[in-house]
């Protein structure tokens, strides 16, 4: 899918104008951009900086600090595997390995067909029923290797997730 | 006759298929012409039973769990032919009356009194079970009287640091300023914890009430909930709850007709563990990198945009409505030593019966395990338990009798923290867990202090060398020195507490570091 940069930019301007009155508006703005475009295109950083009267370096610094913000286009569905201790105690290390092999990518990677991005996450707050994964905004508990494969094949045919 | 049923809309239940079960129940009732009133409630926090389905009977709610979509027809038959008419049960998933379940009966639920009972977004449910009585008392009191009540309750910060909440409020109360803020720290990043999430998903008005009372106490008219973005369901429910509370006059410019003002807004984090540290959280809320601030000044004096700010954990603020409604003394009578009231423990990891367990301080890990856990999920023996999140110690079985109170845990070089209890069976490799603690710090350090930023990377390397049997004795000394440097040379808990699980791993499980238990190296490195 090719994104139209000028429409992205006008989108970003609209988002900033809607949110910039907030105290400490940058995170809400970055969240909204990523929600609408799927990531924060590097080309929008100058615009964000100018409108917030900050330097592009400051904006870039904030984007790069937080694991959630990304500057490249993700796959259609974002899969996150919890790698924190409670999930480890229920077998998540094996699941991580399996997921990487099954999708044939590493963390922060996107599959060749652009369907899936894979990321780790530290705790989804579902610690008594791990291993846990999150696909887009949905949480899945007690994820075995088989359940993971089943979910992947279900999402393969689904439209783009948020 | 209308059948009233309850199926949770809480994250754990949803992660195990609660939406599908609700859909199946609703479809069944349409097909079989059963009049159904289906409530999407919160969870009681008995997670091995989720999705738990309840039906209202004349004797109380009757429960089934864990329910799969395929169980729905037989459960509906059991409900209509046995439970409702004859008060008998025949279904293999029938659990009996919910209130009679031992897991709940053995608890002291003050903060979680309504969780799983109410529809989280029903204001009338909330009001029917003491909701907003604390607020009305607060509105009738002076700000100093509110602060004094909280001081009297003995409540200490439930985020983990255990600083007395009343003292913090007094400081903000006394700070002269034209503007003050209430910030709720809902960046519940500790592995093995979910109590904050449960509050927000199951009883959001309680948190809102606690924050309004905090505002009245210190003279703040603006509040923020800094919520981790890993909790989309909590976000959705809280947003709706804020809209309802505003519409009904509990939030806004004329709280309950009192002329007082309190406005509330949610701010989302962005997957950074460090932002659970209060000064990092404030930086993040100001739109910056979440780099930890030097203290002093304390946030109570110079917090959000330099103004006096109360930063409290979700559970601290959620204890407030009870304290105001029942009095500081009523809360204070629970607990042990200097740990007053109750702590919602969260039993997690490799456990059969994981969930939310609210108890007064003072019990022990062993008795909590005996009363609630049901053993490990893998049915293998327990080898280690990490209490207090990723910065908490791994406890060996010999330490399971330490009383669950803040000071007793500190004395044992352990951390009670936010009350997370993560169980590991005997397949755990403690060297790998120690390595993970360092690796986690590499990923999550804000980068301000060198021992934390660089030390954690060196920690991973040193542990790898120990694993490969490369100059093991020398590298153990190096690891111990490194831990000491991190403890003494870091501003916040991230760097200064990452060594706690590492040290506990090599001291209490030396065999995993290929060290004899009476190793001379360990004796020398005894600084824990």
Same domain, B83 and B130: no
Same domain, B184 and B302: yes
| B239-269 pLDDT, tens digit each | 999 999 999 999 999 999 999 999 999 999 9
What average pLDDT does this structure show over B42-64? 97
Whether A95 maps to a domain, the answer reads yes
Whether B107 maps to a domain, the answer reads no
* Domain at B129, CATH number: 3.40.50.11540
| B314-347 pLDDT, tens digit each | 999 999 999 999 999 999 999 999 999 999 999 9
Inform me whether the pLDDT recorded for B524 exceeds 70: no
**Which residues in chain A are closer than 8 Å to B189, comparing Cβ atoms?**
122-123
Question: For residue B171, what pLDDT is reported?
Answer: 98
Share of chain B above pLDDT 70, in %: 98
Residue of A nearest to B284 (CA): A27
Same domain, B214 and B275: yes
HSE value, Cβ hemisphere, 13 Å, CA-based, for B125: 20
What average pLDDT does this structure show over B469-480? 96
* DSSP codes, B155-222: -B-TTTT--BHHHHHHHHHHS--S--EEEEEE---STT--HHHHHHHH-HHHHHHHHHHHHHHHT--E
Residue of A nearest to B233 (CA): A137
CA distance linking residue B241 with residue B42, whole number of Å: 14
Q: Which of B425, B442, B475 is the last residue of a domain?
A: B425
Residue of B nearest to A85 (CA): B191
Whether A32 maps to a domain, the answer reads yes
* Domain at A129, CATH number: 3.40.30.10
Whether A102 maps to a domain, the answer reads yes
Question: For residue B86, what pLDDT is reported?
Answer: 83
Sign of CA dihedral B72, B76, B82, B88: positive
Residue of B nearest to A139 (CA): B15
Same domain, B235 and B307: yes
CB contact under 8 A, B190 and A126: no
Rounded to a whole number, what is the distance in Å from the CA of B290 to chain A's nearest CA? 7
Same domain, A40 and A101: no
**Interface mutation vs chain A, best among B375, B376, B422, most A CBs within 10 Å:** B422
Helices and strands in chain B, H and E counts:
24, 16
CA distance linking residue B33 with residue B25, whole number of Å: 12
Inform me whether the pLDDT recorded for B237 exceeds 70: yes
Question: For residue A72, what pLDDT is reported?
Answer: 95
Question: For residue B325, what pLDDT is reported?
Answer: 98
Per-residue pLDDT of chain A in tens (162 residues, 90 and over written 9): 445 667 788 999 999 999 999 999 999 999 999 999 999 999 999 999 999 999 999 999 999 999 999 999 999 999 999 999 999 999 999 999 999 999 999 999 999 999 999 999 999 999 999 999 999 999 999 999 999 999 999 999 987 765
Whether A162 maps to a domain, the answer reads no
Of the candidates A65, A85, A139, the beta carbon closest to that of B191 is on A85
Inform me whether the pLDDT recorded for B61 exceeds 50: yes
Q: Which of B317, B332, B347 is the last residue of a domain?
A: B332
| B68-94 pLDDT, tens digit each | 999 999 999 999 999 888 878 889 999
Q: Which residues pair with B46 in a beta bridge?
A: B355
Same domain, B229 and B137: yes
Question: For residue B527, what pLDDT is reported?
Answer: 46
Whether B188 maps to a domain, the answer reads yes
Token output for B179: 């503007």
CB contact under 8 A, B194 and A61: no
What is the b/e burial string over B397-413, where b = at least 16 CB atoms within 10 angstroms of the residue's CB? Answer: eebbebbbbbebbeeeb
Q: Domain of A18?
A: 10-65
Same domain, A120 and A83: yes
Same domain, B23 and B141: no
Question: For residue B136, what pLDDT is reported?
Answer: 98
CA distance linking residue B235 with residue B269, whole number of Å: 11
Residue pairs spanning A and B at CB distance below 8 A: 150
* Domain at B449, CATH number: 1.20.1440.230
Whether B290 maps to a domain, the answer reads yes
The secondary structure element, H or E, covering residue A12 is helix A5-19
Chain A contact for B13, CB < 8 A?
no
Same domain, B176 and B325: yes
Find, among B387, B357, B394, B412, the residue nearest to B503 by Cα. Answer: B394
pLDDT band at B525 (very low <50, low <70, confident <90, very high): low
Q: Peptide bond preceding B51: is omega within 30 degrees of 0, i.e. cis?
A: yes
Whether B108 maps to a domain, the answer reads no
CB contact under 8 A, A140 and B285: no
Same domain, A53 and A83: no
What average pLDDT does this structure show over B498-507? 98
Chain A contact for B304, CB < 8 A?
yes
* Domain at B379, CATH number: 3.10.20.600
CB contact under 8 A, B436 and A88: yes
Q: How far is CA A9 from CA A15, A17, A26, in A?
A: 10, 12, 16
Same domain, A61 and A119: no
* Domain at B95, CATH number: 3.40.30.10
Same domain, A57 and A121: no
Distance of CA B417 to the CA centre of its chain: 10
Is residue B198 within 8 Å of B45, Cβ to Cβ? yes
Same domain, B162 and B275: yes
Whether A133 maps to a domain, the answer reads yes
Whether B110 maps to a domain, the answer reads no
HSE value, Cβ hemisphere, 13 Å, CA-based, for B436: 23
Mean pLDDT, rounded, of chain B: 96
* DSSP codes, B235-282: HHHHHHHHHHHHHTTSSBSSGGGSS--BEEEEEE--S-GGGGSHHHHH
Find, among B195, B228, B198, the residue nearest to B343 by Cα. Answer: B195
Same domain, A111 and A151: yes
Domain count, chain B: 4
**Interface mutation vs chain B, best among A21, A60, A63, A127, most B CBs within 10 Å:** A127
Question: For residue B519, what pLDDT is reported?
Answer: 52
Inform me whether the pLDDT recorded for B526 exceeds 60: no
Rounded to a whole number, what is the distance in Å from the CA of A34 to chain B's nearest CA? 11
Q: Which of B310, B332, B354 is the last residue of a domain?
A: B332
Question: For residue B523, what pLDDT is reported?
Answer: 53
Rounded to a whole number, what is the distance in Å from the CA of A6 to chain B's nearest CA? 26
Q: How far is CA A34 from CA A81, B396, B444, in A?
A: 20, 44, 21
Question: For residue B340, what pLDDT is reported?
Answer: 98
Q: What is the ipTM of this complex?
A: 0.96
Same domain, B404 and B455: no
Q: Domain of B397?
A: 335-425
SS3 A18: helix
**Which residues in chain B are closer than 8 Å to A69, comparing Cβ atoms?**
270
Question: For residue B87, what pLDDT is reported?
Answer: 79
Same domain, B325 and B339: no
What average pLDDT does this structure show over B292-311? 98
Whether B11 maps to a domain, the answer reads yes
Same domain, B245 and B158: yes
Whether A144 maps to a domain, the answer reads yes
Q: At how many degrees (to 10) do helices B472-489 and B455-467 cross?
A: 160
Same domain, A84 and A134: yes
> Sheet harboring B309-313: ordered strands across?
B263-268, B222-227, B181-186, B309-313
Question: For residue A1, what pLDDT is reported?
Answer: 44
Chain A contact for B285, CB < 8 A?
yes
CB contact under 8 A, A127 and B191: yes
Inform me whether the pLDDT recorded for B28 exceeds 70: yes
Whether A1 maps to a domain, the answer reads no
CB contact under 8 A, B348 and A61: no
Domain count, chain A: 2
CB contact under 8 A, B230 and A124: yes
Same domain, B155 and B280: yes
The secondary structure element, H or E, covering residue B95 is strand B94-97
Whether A2 maps to a domain, the answer reads no
């Amino acid at each position: 899918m090719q994104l139209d940069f000028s429409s992205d930019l006008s989108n970003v301007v609209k988002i900033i104008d809607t949110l910039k009155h907030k105290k400490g508006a940058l995170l809400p703005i970055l969240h909204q951009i990523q929600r609408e475009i799927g990531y924060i295109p590097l080309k929008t950083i100058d615009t964000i900086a100018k409108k917030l009267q900050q330097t592009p370096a400051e904006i870039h610094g904030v984007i790069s600090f937080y694991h959630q913000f990304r500057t490249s286009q993700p796959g259609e569905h974002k899969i996150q595997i919890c790698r924190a201790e409670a999930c480890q105690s229920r077998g998540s290390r094996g699941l991580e390995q399996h997921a990487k092999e099954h999708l044939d990518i590493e963390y922060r990677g996107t599959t060749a067909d652009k369907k899936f991005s894979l990321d780790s996450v530290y705790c989804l707050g579902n610690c008594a029923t791990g291993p846990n994964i999150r696909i887009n905004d949905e949480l899945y508990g007690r994820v075995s290797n088989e359940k993971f494969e089943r979910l992947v094949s279900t999402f393969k045919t689904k439209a783009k997730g948020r | 006759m209308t059948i009233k049923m309850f199926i949770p809309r809480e994250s754990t239940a949803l992660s195990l298929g609660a939406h599908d079960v609700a859909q199946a129940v609703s479809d069944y009732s349409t097909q079989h012409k059963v009049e159904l009133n289906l409530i999407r409630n919160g969870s009681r926090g008995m997670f091995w039973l989720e999705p738990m389905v309840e039906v209202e009977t004349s004797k109380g709610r009757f429960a089934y769990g864990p329910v799969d979509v395929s169980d729905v027809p037989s459960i509906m038959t059991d409900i209509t032919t046995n439970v409702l008419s004859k008060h008998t049960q025949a279904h293999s998933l029938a659990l009996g009356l919910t209130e009679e379940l031992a897991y709940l009966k053995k608890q002291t639920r003050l903060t979680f009194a309504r969780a799983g009972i109410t529809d989280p977004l029903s204001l009338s449910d909330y009001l029917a079970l003491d909701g907003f009585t604390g607020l009305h008392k607060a509105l009738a009191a002076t700000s100093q009287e509110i602060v004094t009540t909280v001081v009297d309750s003995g409540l200490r910060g439930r985020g983990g640091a255990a600083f007395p909440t009343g003292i913090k409020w007094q400081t903000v109360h006394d700070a002269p300023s034209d503007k003050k803020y209430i910030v709720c720290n809902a960046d519940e990043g500790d592995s093995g914890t979910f109590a904050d999430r449960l509050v927000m998903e199951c009883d959001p008005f309680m948190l809102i009430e606690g924050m309004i009372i905090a505002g009245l106490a210190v003279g703040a008219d603006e509040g923020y909930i800094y919520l981790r973005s890993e909790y989309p369901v909590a976000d959705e429910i809280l947003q709706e709850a804020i809209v309802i509370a505003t519409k009904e006059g509990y939030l806004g410019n004329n709280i309950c007709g009192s002329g007082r003002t309190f406005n509330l807004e949610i701010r989302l984090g962005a997957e950074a563990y460090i932002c659970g540290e209060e000064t990092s959280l404030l930086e993040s809320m100001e739109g910056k990198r979440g780099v930890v601030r030097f203290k002093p000044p304390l946030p109570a004096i110079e917090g959000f945009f330099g103004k006096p700010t109360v930063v409290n954990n979700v559970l601290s603020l959620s204890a407030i409505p009870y304290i105001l409604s029942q009095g500081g003394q009523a809360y204070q009578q629970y607990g042990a030593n200097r740990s007053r009231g109750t702590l919602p423990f969260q039993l997690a990891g490799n456990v059969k019966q994981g969930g939310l367990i609210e108890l007064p301080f003072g019990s022990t890990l062993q008795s909590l395990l005996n009363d609630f856990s049901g053993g490990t999920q893998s049915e293998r023996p327990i080898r280690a338990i990490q209490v207090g999140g990723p910065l908490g110690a791994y406890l060996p079985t010999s330490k399971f009798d330490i009383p669950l109170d803040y000071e007793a845990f500190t004395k044992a070089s352990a951390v009670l923290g936010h009350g997370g209890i993560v169980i590991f069976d005997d397949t755990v490799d403690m060297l790998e867990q120690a390595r993970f603690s360092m690796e986690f710090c590499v990923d999550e350090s804000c980068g301000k202090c060198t021992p934390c930023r660089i030390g954690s990377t060196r920690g991973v390397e040193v542990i790898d060398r120990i694993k490969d049997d490369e100059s093991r004795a020398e590298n153990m000394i190096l690891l111990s020195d490194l831990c000491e440097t991190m403890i003494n040379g870091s501003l916040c808990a991230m760097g200064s507490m990452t060594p706690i699980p590492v040290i506990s791993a090599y001291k209490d499980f030396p065999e995993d570091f290929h060290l004899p238990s009476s190793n001379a190296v360990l004796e020398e490195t005894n600084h824990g």
